[in-house]
Amino acid sequence: MKCPCCYSEIDDVPVEALREIMLTPQQKLVFSLLLRRYPQQVHREAIIETLFGHRMDGGPLTAQTLASVILSQLRDRLKDYGWTITSSNNTGGPGNHGVYYLRKQGS
């Protein structure tokens, strides 16, 4: 695979090198949050807050769907570098939300 920094062939892309991947502004916001918290998990609500917390209305009614779309787009971008975003959906009742974290594919 190619390093996102220098494009040379490497066996393993370090997490720090992922900062060089070309992303949309919204993808960058979410990815930066995941990267800052790596290897720990990030709750869906934190992702929505990162994307829409600056808005007086708290974001669109479709904020959860938009966050899911952005996470899916990021997964597609990261797979070429041997990384993914893993989700874990807690379904234990009200107030429980999905969590996401960066991880190397195959680990």
Domain boundaries, the chain: 15-104
Tell whether the model's pLDDT for residue 13 goes beyond 70. Answer: yes
Torsion of CA 94, 43, 46, 62, to 10 degrees: -60
What is the C-alpha to C-alpha distance for residues 90 and 96, in angstroms, rounded to an integer?
6
Average pLDDT over residues 2-29: 87
Q: Which CATH architecture has domain 15-104?
A: Alpha-Beta Complex (3.90)
Map residue 49 onto helix, strand or coil.
Answer: helix
What pTM was computed for the model?
0.84
Residues 7/24, Cβ–Cβ less than 8 Å: no
Q: What percent of the chain has pLDDT over 90?
A: 58
Tell whether the model's pLDDT for residue 65 goes beyond 50. Answer: yes
- Looking at the DSSP assignment, which residues form a beta bridge with residue 101? 86
What pLDDT shows up at residue 89?
62
